[in-house]
Amino acid sequence: MKLYKYEDAKVAFEQACVLDPTNSDAIIGNAIASRNVGALKEATELLKEAMLLRPESVTSRSELAHTLIELNRAGEAKLVLDDLPAHVRETVRIDTLYAEIFAAQGDFDAANRVVTQALERSPDNSAALLLLSKIDACSNLLSNPNLYQKLENPSSTFEEKRDLGFALGRSAEARGDYDAAFLAYQRGNEAQNSLAEAAVGAYSVEDHERLIDRTMKIYSHERVAALARYGVDDGRPIFIVGMPRSGTTLIEQILSAHPDVFGAGERQALADAKSYFEKVAVRTDTTLAQAVPEAFFRRATELYFSNLANEATQCAKFTDKNPHNFLLIGLIRILMPRARIIHCRRNRLDTCISNYFQVFSHRHNYCNRLDDLAHYYRQYLRLFNYWNEYQKDDIFEIEYESLIEQPEHNVRNLLQFCGLSWNESCLAFYKNSRLVYTPSQMQVRKPIYTSSVGRWQHYKKFLTPLMSGPDAISQLR
């Protein structure tokens, strides 16, 4: 676990659990390893099991709360923490978890209060400093020169360097010291890249190109057109896709402000449906079968619609804001041909540096090096160009910069595409009280602003891989 070899750690912890099924430490270790390889639901069940064995365990409760937050279940996470006795809640760990919960709920004053409390207990706690930088990047607590020394200290862990790098980057950017900001972000990304490589492996140019090639081969235009007639007659889903940090959260916030729309957040269900569908429908030559039994269609769509929040059943539409569903447009067109697809676009350089300046999960291992980001962006665009050649009109493309400049015009067109009536509340999306878990959780609580447009220009001299490298994106449309 300390070597960040989470897959190996998981195997070892599973063996320990077989040898001693009542060992709560082994169960908790198994859960933490599972969470770090993306098995969040499994981690949740393991931690609930550990809590039953030792109800008084602070570790099992705090780890369960952490996992529930990652599953976008902040309300449940708060209940788990609230059950702890008051005297054992007085730790940095619990304070930072509460801060994350309050931030997701939009209560940034409460989030600031508890994260400041955490830093009173431990002034150089990197996780608390990272949270504070999201809530108040101008805080004096981030200007301590000792933090830069800790960032450069070889004895600091990768997690500490990652958190400090991004926290100090945000702080320097808020002060307008862009050179210092980029260098701090760079340190944070170097640490995060080491963590991601250990957890899921390094980003592979060859592997990702093969993934795009395979996707286009399986979901050929011909096969998609032939099989789409068997899809479910359900027009409720609105898929919001594109590169991360391209405005997807803003679009979901606008749409979910409409009384007929439920914002379901970043669902993983389409990936589950894909795994099943491709298992039964893809032939050995990596093409879709000419015909697929109707029962398989039903099962795949059941997997997608399962675990949909009850509130969604009360609305005419619901949003699925998982940006990476752009990889699954072919599947959407087959299983749910009446679903709406919204493609969010933003200035390519702003999009890439916004990804580079953000801490994502290890699965976003393309975000930590500008060369990898440039390559990933080109492949994303290659796949979208493929779908635009098929049937461009059934994907609504919205430009972030145009939305900022002409909000009402763009929102009206957006609602019309989704088959929704005009509603003024969509322009007051920042009053929407729904929980938001993405990095844009603060931005979407504010009216539309323009300060993020052209952000890349502050960092132009650092962006050679994006502007003139082998995968340069500066000339792409």
Q: Domain with 358 in it: what CATH number?
A: 3.40.50.300
Q: Are residues 137 and 80 in the same domain?
A: no
Q: Examine residue 260 and state whether it is found in any structural domain, yes or no.
A: yes
The span from the CA of 364 to the CA of 167, in Å, is 19
Helices and strands in the chain, H and E counts: 22, 5
The answer to whether 240 touches 318, Cβ cutoff 8 Å, is no
Q: Which of 235-239, 414-418, 467-471 has the lowest mean pLDDT?
A: 467-471
Q: Are residues 333 and 294 in the same domain?
A: yes
- Which CATH number do you get for residue 73? 1.25.40.10
Confidence grade of residue 477 (pLDDT, cut at 50, 70, 90) = low
Q: Which of 35-39, 155-159, 244-248, 458-462 has the lowest mean pLDDT?
A: 35-39
**Closest to 80 measured CA to CA, from 94, 99, 70:** 94
Taking 80 as the threshold, does the pLDDT of residue 193 lie above it?
yes
The answer to whether 78 touches 101, Cβ cutoff 8 Å, is yes
Mean pLDDT for 432-441 is 56
**Exposure string over 158-185, b if 16+ CB within 10 A, otherwise e:** bebbbbbbbbbbbbbbeeeebebbbbbb
Q: Are residues 219 and 350 in the same domain?
A: yes
The span from the CA of 51 to the CA of 84, in Å, is 12
Q: Are residues 188 and 65 in the same domain?
A: no
Q: Are residues 164 and 295 in the same domain?
A: no
Query: pLDDT tens digits for 264-294?
Result: 988 889 999 999 999 999 998 999 998 888 8
**Closest to 343 measured CA to CA, from 394, 377, 379:** 394
Q: Are residues 55 and 74 in the same domain?
A: yes
List, in sequence order, the alpha helices (H) in 317-421: 329-335, 348-356, 370-391, 400-405, 407-417
Q: Examine residue 96 and state whether it is found in any structural domain, yes or no.
A: no
Q: Residue 440: its pLDDT value, please?
A: 53
As a three-state string, the secondary structure of 211-246 is: HHHHHHHHCCHHHHHHHHHHCCCCCCEEEEEECCCC
Taking 60 as the threshold, does the pLDDT of residue 180 lie above it?
yes
Q: Are residues 167 and 265 in the same domain?
A: no
Determine the 3-state secondary structure of 396 from DSSP. Answer: strand
Q: Are residues 167 and 233 in the same domain?
A: no
Q: Residue 38: its pLDDT value, please?
A: 82
The answer to whether 50 touches 61, Cβ cutoff 8 Å, is no
Rounded to the nearest 5°, which phi and psi values hold at 176?
85, 10
Show which of 180, 201, 222 is a domain's final residue: 201
pTM here? 0.89
Q: Are residues 299 and 192 in the same domain?
A: no
Q: Which of 263-267, 376-380, 435-439 has the lowest mean pLDDT?
A: 435-439
Q: Examine residue 467 and state whether it is found in any structural domain, yes or no.
A: no
Give, as one character, the DSSP assignment of residue 399.
E
Query: pLDDT tens digits for 293-346?
Result: 889 999 999 999 988 877 787 899 999 999 999 999 999 999 999 999 999 999
Q: Which of 41-45, 59-63, 84-88, 141-145 has the lowest mean pLDDT?
A: 84-88
Q: Examine residue 434 and state whether it is found in any structural domain, yes or no.
A: yes
Q: Examine residue 145 and state whether it is found in any structural domain, yes or no.
A: yes
The answer to whether 193 touches 368, Cβ cutoff 8 Å, is yes
Query: pLDDT tens digits for 95-137?
Result: 999 999 998 888 889 999 999 999 999 999 999 999 999 999 9
Q: Examine residue 421 and state whether it is found in any structural domain, yes or no.
A: yes
Q: Give, in order, the Cα–Cα distances in Å from 94 to each of 85, 138, 187, 202.
A: 12, 24, 27, 32
How large a percentage of the chain has pLDDT more than 70? Answer: 94
Q: Examine residue 162 and state whether it is found in any structural domain, yes or no.
A: yes
Q: Residue 318: its pLDDT value, please?
A: 95
Query: pLDDT tens digits for 397-406?
Result: 999 999 999 9
Residue span of the structural domain in which 145 resides: 122-201
Quote the tokens at residue 439: 């990095």
Query: pLDDT tens digits for 207-226?
Result: 999 999 999 999 999 999 99
**Closest to 60 measured CA to CA, from 28, 36, 30, 87:** 28
Work out the angle between the directed axes of helices 92-104 and 74-82 (0-180°, nearest 10).
Answer: 150
Q: Residue 25: its pLDDT value, please?
A: 95
Q: Residue 474: its pLDDT value, please?
A: 64
Q: Residue 291: its pLDDT value, please?
A: 85
Show which of 48, 71, 89 is a domain's final residue: 89
Q: Are residues 416 and 344 in the same domain?
A: yes
Q: Residue 311: its pLDDT value, please?
A: 77
Average pLDDT value over all residues in the chain: 91
Q: Are residues 310 and 419 in the same domain?
A: yes
Query: pLDDT tens digits for 350-378?
Result: 999 999 999 998 889 999 999 999 999 99
The number of domains in the chain is: 3
The span from the CA of 232 to the CA of 324, in Å, is 22
Q: Residue 444: its pLDDT value, please?
A: 53
Q: Examine residue 114 and state whether it is found in any structural domain, yes or no.
A: no
Quote the tokens at residue 403: 């939305």
Ramachandran region, residue 316 (left: φ > 0; alpha: ψ -120 to 50; beta: rest): alpha
Taking 80 as the threshold, does the pLDDT of residue 432 lie above it?
no
Q: Are residues 289 and 385 in the same domain?
A: yes
